[in-house]
Copies of this chain bind each other. A is one copy, B any other.
Amino acid sequence: MLARMTTKYFWEDFPVGQVREFGAMPVTRDAVLAFAREFDPQPFHVDDAAAERSLFGRLAASGWHTAAMAMRMMCDEYLLESASLGSPGLESLKWLKPVYPGDTLSVRLTTVEARPMASRPEVGLVRSKWEVLNQHREPVLAMEGWGMFRRRGT
């Protein structure tokens, strides 16, 4: 159980145009197999021979695992110290390249839009673009969507 951290980031701390880069998450074979066996046991995520015959060429992480790893990097970088109220959803999610065991992932976060919530003045909406990069700086996952944060001083 994590202790409640100090709130450092409010809605005002995500201005439009801000770019943050963070994270260095190693993708291990054990983690790829554990996630896939539980949630996405398609042959190319759990079986080396089947993966070699697939479009991936070798064992690749479930796209949902990549998204979950990105979420963990976001939590560690800013969400756990933020006045986050959750997210209503994403407007797009693109799996651009396979993620393989041995890769190291990072996140580039860009604030695309920010506005107060009409119905709840103490809450602000932030529309963000998250790009997950591998160690070659190639984007492997791109997402755009909304987060809700409490406003400073409310």
Contact = CB atoms under 8 A, between A and B. Distances in A.
Given A64-B64, A67-B64, A71-B64, A86 B2 contact: no
Interface size class of chain A, counting residues whose CB lies under 8 Å from the partner chain? 35 or more
A interface SS class: mixed
Question: Copies of this chain, how many?
Answer: 2
Contacts of A124: none
Given A94-B89, A95-B87, A72 B40 contact: yes
19 contacts: A1-B46, A4-B50, A38-B68, A39-B71, A41-B72, A41-B75, A42-B80, A43-B80, A55-B85, A55-B86, A56-B86, A63-B86, A64-B67, A64-B68, A68-B68, A86-B95, A88-B94, A89-B94, A91-B91
